Structure 1
Amino acid sequence: MKTDNKPWFWIPLLNFASGLPYAVIISVSVIMYKKLGISNKDIGLYTSLLYLPWVIKPLWSPFIELVGTKRKWFLSMQLLISIAFLLVGFTIPANGFFMMTLAIFWVAAFASASNDIASDGFYLLVLPEDKQSFFIGIRSTFYRLAMLAGNGLIVLLAGYLEHKYSDNTKAWSYTMIAVGLLMTFITVYNFFSTPRTEINAGEKPVAANKQSFASIFASFFRKKQIIIVLSFILLFRLGESQLIKMLTPFLVDPIKYELVETGLDEGQAKALELYNSKVKNGEKLSDSELQFLYAKLPVLVEMRDQKKQLKEVENKDKEEYKNANKARIDFVNLLITNKGNQKTIKKGGMGLETEDIGLIYGTFGLIALTLGGILGGIAISKQGLTKWMLPMILTMHLPIIGFILLAHFHPASIYYIYAVVIVEQFGYGFGFAAFMMYLIYVAEGESKTAHYALATGFMAMGMMLPGMVSGYIQEYLGYGNFFIWVFLATIPGIILSRFLIFPKDFGKEYQEV
């Protein structure tokens, strides 16, 4: 297969194979663990640690640079990812599933990071620079399409199975098995579609690179403006890194909780009596009384389309019981703090079902992202990165204001949520093309693969560290103030972008005359 006229056959699914594992490991795992009863703090901390392989991938990127072909690397890593997702699916029903699935996700994350290194290097080696600028938007779009396939279609499947089986564990187990099978199909397609040679048609073969690991690393840190460059890469996604981790919990968390005072059984009636006699009067509760309220106080959950009473969970597994009752425990603690005044307790999330999340991101969000990514790549290829850098960054970050408004006003119509997601997804697709094009500039020169991996490794660090504390920040600030903080966190990256120096027309596609 010729490499100069067939990129449309292999670029889309090769980048989809990079984005899908990332989406499942980093994003879909968030909603999966949320629906399986894990707290926001644990979700933020442990799923952010899954970024670590992308952070430290530069440590083994020179090995991929010097040993074997990029094609062999990404095909073998994609196969390993497929097996890992199948194992996650079979492990979810087991006791202690949380730590076991995290361990498997870690293996998949290392394989996915290696797949990214090889795929990026393959792209840089096979395509000449003028075509790289055009296809950067296509790459970014299909990578993001894979993210949306995870956050959209896969989540939609999980939501459908949740309703079908009335069992979140079974639903997510089957969903992850389906993801493993899908990844297997993509691996097979990439085996047959990707070019066998790794030299583009416009280049002559060159001697093998004999640089050592140390010299490859050192040459990266000798690049111009390296301090400003690394600061920009680390801080550019400071806001987004926290938004990604807490956005799904915000959308699926109930709008609010309230007490039920009618249709009670004997235990609930006694708990309500204790609440009225002591909590409303600000009296101190004994440990036994507090535990009784945690277990029996009747609490109603307000979702977007319904109100339902929290079910009492059987005390089979201590940790599972604690997680399942966390909502009631947190609400009781707020009631005690506010002496029973429910009106002072702020509203929480948007109260969407799992299927709602999948539908929003898998339809209009998908279309908006596709248009944004394609237009971003075309804009850079026509007029160069300098002209579009700031407008694209602003287009990417300003839509966070929409989530601030949602968290403060909780509009009744779901169409407001659709509008915010559509604007955010278009802005992301359009704006992220500029950031990815800049990373290609940073990687210019010898050892493109390793240098690009170094740049994206620092980018992953900028995602991991803030994400680890995002759950703690959210629980401290509440959703409304949290999104304000996320918006403010985008400012350092915007400021640093104005100090970056690169060729004025970098990324512009020149036409021969």
Structure 2
Amino acid sequence: MTKSPWKWVPTLYLGTGPAQVAATTLSMLLYKQLGLTNAEITLYTAWFFLPQVLRPLWAPLIELTKSRRWWVVAMQLLVGAAFGGVAFTIPTAYWLQGTICFFLLLAFSGAIYDTAVDSFYSVSLDDDAQQHFTGIRSAFYRFSIIFAQGFLVMVAGNLQLLYRNSISLSWSLVFYAAAGLFIALWLWHRAILPHARADEGRYDWSGDLPADLSDLWHEMRRRLHSFVTKYERRRVVATLFFIVAFLLPEALLSKVSMLFLVDAEHNGGLGLSPQEFGWVQGTVAVVALSLGSLAGGIVVNRDGLRRWLWPMTAATNLPHLLYLYLALTQPGGLLPITLCIFVHQFGCAFGTTAYLLQLIHYSRGPHQTTHHLLCTALMTASFVLPSMFSGALQMALGYPAFFLMVLACGGFSFLSMALLPKR
């Protein structure tokens, strides 16, 4: 009996957001409320992007070893265990070491789960069904982000009111609830996911494993060499500089902007409660990102990318002025803060369309999948390194001067776009 995709596609993509959000956003809020400095928070949480940097190394193993279905089910259970580990270690004396270990496990298992889900989806449905469910899976992915970054943060804030500001207890309960959700999803998918004929690991374990690993290593080296030699040297250098430099301002801003929203007013922040943060950053910002991406795709399809390169570069950088405005004025109402966050997130998503399309254009040709993985890994690495030290820079400069520095770094975005060959 054929199992309807409606029984498993929505729930598969409902599980793609929480692990990523927990490792990259909830961890920062937790550490901020537990008293770590901005410098410590950005340094520690930057390591949770390591799975994305290493994706070109581990992603091929998903298709070569076990079935995609096995990876999906196994990683969903591991994500649930990692959530439980975070919840268990928060109230202990070793909360920092314990939560870092489990957040890192959560980041790896979540990244592998996301990759396995996309691969399983592609082999389990025919082309017509994939096209039919494209909007469904995108909608449930966005909903999962709002659930984790909005709803769960609001729940943590309400629990802190209920338990008289017991931060450890409130966050432990939230992470235990997330663990229970993923264990329930694991039980459901273990029973309901179909066994596709094309979903089998391709590696023959009866062969010569050391020789096969050596061949795989040489193949990876060959593809890496082709990545930097596929075009003339000027284009390669200009593209690599573009990948590294275009998002430098956003890399510096990404973590500090969220800490700025919840930091105390006497420290120069806006002093938002968890409930307010969940609404502004967890709901409004996600909606703005979705609308910005949609608008970027529409104008590029209508007019072509070249016409929108400079407007998109400006849209990525100019909204950073809004954070300088917020830092200088510290408005007391939630409405101006919400509007500023909406405009920034919309502009960032709209402008990043040009960046992502440039990565796709560079990856075209032989070994397209591998080259795109390398592009995204380099993008993530260039994003992580500045964000790692952004908290220390903010503490040294203060919020207004830091946001002014971010604005100045926008010059790298315009320079990298100007040097990029337009073809």
TM over 0.5: yes
CA distance in structure 2 between the aligned counterparts of 1:446 and 1:123, rounded to whole angstroms: 24
The alpha-carbon deviation at position 139 of structure 1 amounts to 7.5
Write the deviation string for residues 62-113 of structure 1: whole angstroms up to 9, x where unpaired. 3335334444434432331121012111211111101111011111222223
What is the correspondence of 1:339-350 to structure 2 with a 5 Å cutoff? 348-350=268-270
- Residue 451 of structure 1 and its aligned partner are, at CA, apart by 3.3
Deviations 1:248-288 (A, max 9, x none): 221122212xxxxxxxxxxxxxxxxxxxxxxxxxxxxxxxx
Matched, 1:181 2:180: yes
Distance 1:124 1:494 in 2: 37
Is it true that 1:497 corresponds to 2:423 in the alignment?
A: no
SS at match of 2:230: coil
Indicate the residue corresponding to 1:459 in structure 2: 379
Aligned to 1:223: 230
- Structure 1 or 2: larger helix share? 2
Contact kept, 8 Å, 1:62 with 1:213, in 2: the verdict is no
Q: Which runs of 5+ in 1 are unaligned?
A: 200-206, 257-346, 504-513
Query: Deviations 1:445-482 (Å, cap 9, x if unpaired)?
Result: 45554433322221221122111111110001101111
Secondary structure of the residue that 1:51 maps to in structure 2? helix
1:45 aligned partner = 43
Corresponding residue number in structure 2 for 1:92: 90
Match of 1:212, SS state, is helix
What is the correspondence of 1:145-160 to structure 2 with a 5 Å cutoff?
146-160=144-158
| Aligned-partner Cα distance in 1 for 2:18–2:246 | 22
Look up the match of 1:431: 351
SS in 2 for 1:399: helix
Q: Would you say the 8 A contact 2:255–2:390 is kept in 1?
A: yes
Equivalent position SS for 1:60? helix
The answer to whether the Cα contact below 8 Å between 2:244 and 2:382 also exists between their aligned partners in 1 is yes
- Paired position in structure 2 for 1:169: 168
113-122 vs 400-409, which moves further: 113-122
Per the TM alignment, residue 127 of structure 1 is displaced from its structure 2 partner at its CA by 9.3
- How far apart are the structure 1 equivalents of 2:70 and 2:259? 38
Change (3 A) 1:229 1:142: farther
Deviations 1:407-464 (A, max 9, x none): 0111232211011111122223333344344444444445554433322221221122
In 2, Cα distance between the equivalents of 1:113 and 1:127? 22
Counterpart for residue 218 of structure 2: 214
Query: What is aligned with 2:284?
Result: 364
> CA, structure 1 residues 125+494, in 2 after alignment: closer, same or farther (shift >3 Å)?
farther
**Shift in alpha-carbon separation, 1:233–1:437, aligned structure 2, 3 A:** same
Q: Which residue of 2 aligns with 1:397?
A: 317
Match of 2:209 in 1: none
Counterpart in 2 of 1:61? Answer: 59
**CA-to-partner distance for each residue in 1:30-55, whole Å, 9 max, x for gaps?**
01110111121211111112222222
Equivalence map 1:473-512=2 (5 Å): 473-500=393-420
1:245 maps onto 2:255 in alignment = yes
Asked whether the 8 Å contact 1:375–1:430 carries over to 2, the reply is yes
Task: Give the letter aligned to residue 350 of structure 1.
Answer: L
| 2:74 paired with 1:76 | yes
Query: How far apart in 1 are the matches of 2:406 and 2:35?
Result: 25
Query: In the alignment, is the contact (CA less than 8 A) between 1:134 and 1:381 conserved in 2?
Result: no
Measured on the aligned residues, the alpha-carbon RMSD in Å equals: 3.8
Question: Do 1:61 and 1:449's aligned partners in 2 also have CA atoms closer than 8 Å?
Answer: no
Distance in 2 (CA, whole Å) between partners of 1:447 and 1:105 is 33
Pair 395,194 (structure 1): closer, same or farther in 2 beyond 3 Å: farther
CA contact (8 A) 1:153 1:358 kept: yes
Aligned equivalents of 2:179 and 2:27: distance in 1?
14
Out of 440-449 and 25-34, give the one that drifted further. Answer: 440-449
Cα displacement string for residues 310-356 of structure 1 (whole angstroms, at most 9, x for unaligned residues): xxxxxxxxxxxxxxxxxxxxxxxxxxxxxxxxxxxxx6111221111
Distance between the aligned counterparts of 1:470 and 1:66, measured in 2? Answer: 38
More divergent stretch after superposition (190-199 vs 363-372) = 190-199
Superposed, which structure 2 residues align to 1:4-403 within 5 Å? 10=9, 17-119=15-117, 146-166=144-164, 167-185=166-184, 192=192, 196=196, 212-220=216-224, 221=227, 222-224=229-231, 225-256=235-266, 348-403=268-323
| Cα shift at 1:217 | 4.2
Q: Which residue of 1 aligns with 2:326?
A: 406
1:401 is matched by which residue type in structure 2? L
The question of whether the paired residues in 2 share the 8 Å contact of 1:45 and 1:468 is answered with: yes
Partners of 1:443 and 1:129 in 2: how far apart? 23
Contact 1:134 1:378 in 2 (8 A): no
Given that 1:27 and 1:244 are in contact with CA atoms closer than 8 Å, whether structure 2 keeps it comes out as no
Q: CA deviation at 1:363?
A: 3.9
Query: What is the CA–CA distance in structure 1 between the aligned matches of 2:79 and 2:58, rounded to whole Å?
Result: 18
Residue identity over aligned pairs, in percent, reads 34
Q: Give the total of aligned pairs.
A: 404
The whole-number CA distance in structure 1 between the counterparts of 2:370 and 2:197 is 19
Higher deviation after alignment, 156-165 or 232-241: 232-241
Map Cα deviations across residues 207-254 of structure 1 (whole Å, 9 max, x no partner). Answer: 99x973332343242333433333222223322222222122211222
Change beyond 3 A, Cα 1:129–1:223? farther
Residues 195, 360 of structure 1: alpha-carbon distance in 2 compared, 3 angstrom cutoff? farther
